Amino acid sequence: MWYPFSASFEENCTIISAEYYFEIGDFLSLIRAMFATNNHSPEILSKQNVRLTKKHLIGNDRKTQCSIRFVTDDSEFLLQRCFIGPYSTEARLQKIGNSIVYRNHDVIQMLSKFGKPIVIDDGGLFNNNSLIFKPIDNHTRKSLVALSNNWARMVGFVDSRLDIDYDGRWSTRGDVDAFGNRRYSARNGAPSPLRLLANLAQAVMKKRVFGMCTPIFSPFNVDSLNDFEAITIIDLIRNICKEESLQFIVAINTNSNTNSMIGAIETPRLSMYET
């Protein structure tokens, strides 16, 4: 994300809207990078790498600065990091309310002790193990399947047949009729709306089983849906998050008209930067 953007997340469900879907990938990658502990490489700013540094600073990989204010069970923190491309070159972590400040590698050590938000990308969810919750017995597996399929039918997926195995791998069985139209098939993978509902089902089960769940960031590609369909799904997610006391952040690609109806926080429109 190369443009300036700031948002305050709501207690349960927050909708972040970008103009294009590729921007959502940038947003989620930045959130993941902020809490990552394997990407801090300040050595790229050393004198030995000054030529490479100049190349990054004036080339395609420009400097990115980001700050996130977050709350743990007993404290509040301000995390600040600077990136050149994918590499963190500066890091600072301040404990709000006192003079405690961590810098650089001390920040990385502190981040390794926190329960981090779970950031889901839009690739491989149905081919790899889930990052949120794996079934621990047959009851939780059946509950995940029932929750996700029931919600899917509520919003119009009249023939939803999602399934999950004990390793946390999701799959679809047969064709899926989405809002009365035969748009998807199992060989093409599950559509983004079903992935979103599957992520939500896992968050709900994790909260019910363990009594807590870290914040979840999930993408939602609405390219195949109309405004009514997208709004219906978002309304369902909001209600569930409120009932289950979850913090669920959905990154969605919608237009300004839809954003006004779902109360989404808009990123800057790219058209304003066009010359």
pLDDT level of residue 256 (50, 70, 90 thresholds): confident
One domain for residues 191 and 248? yes
Determine whether 95 is exposed, middle or buried from the number of CB atoms within 10 Å of its CB (0-12, 13-18, 19+).
middle
Beta strands 118-119 and 216-220, pairing class: parallel
Taking the CA atoms of the chain, what radius of gyration do you get in angstroms?
Answer: 20
Strand, helix or coil for residue 152: helix
Q: 88 and 195, same structural domain?
A: no
- Are 51 and 65 contained in the same domain? yes
- Inter-residue contact 39 to 86 (CB < 8 Å): yes
Same domain membership, residue 214 and residue 164: yes
- Record the tokens describing residue 106, joined without a space: 């001390």
- 87 and 26 in a single domain? The answer is no
Domain of residue 169, residue span: 1-36+116-275
Q: Which of 92, 111, 130 is the last residue of a domain?
A: 111
Whether residues 142 and 245 fall in one domain = yes
> 58 and 2, same structural domain?
no
Question: What's the pLDDT score for residue 272?
Answer: 79
Residue 196 and residue 120 share a domain: yes
Average pLDDT, rounded, for the chain: 85
Q: Name the residue among 93, 55, 51 with its Cα closest to residue 75.
A: 93
- In whole angstroms, give the CA distance from residue 221 to residue 23: 11
Q: Do both 154 and 254 map to the same domain? A: yes
Q: Please give the model's pTM, rounded to 2 decimal places.
A: 0.85
- Read off the CATH number of the domain in which 250 is found: 3.40.50
The domain boundary residue, chosen from 84, 111, 138 = 111
97 and 161, same domain (yes or no): no
Q: Are residues 1 and 72 in the same domain?
A: no
Residues 144 and 264 in one domain: yes
Helix (H) or strand (E) run with residue 162 in it: strand 162-164
Instruction: Tell me the residue ranges of DSSP E strands in 23-157.
Output: 63-71, 76-84, 87-95, 101-103, 118-119
Whole-angstrom CA distances from 78 to 2, 74, 92, 220, 260 are: 21, 14, 8, 28, 30
The 10s digit of each residue's pLDDT in 126-170 is 445 678 999 999 999 999 999 999 999 999 887 778 889 888 888
What is the domain count for the chain? Answer: 2
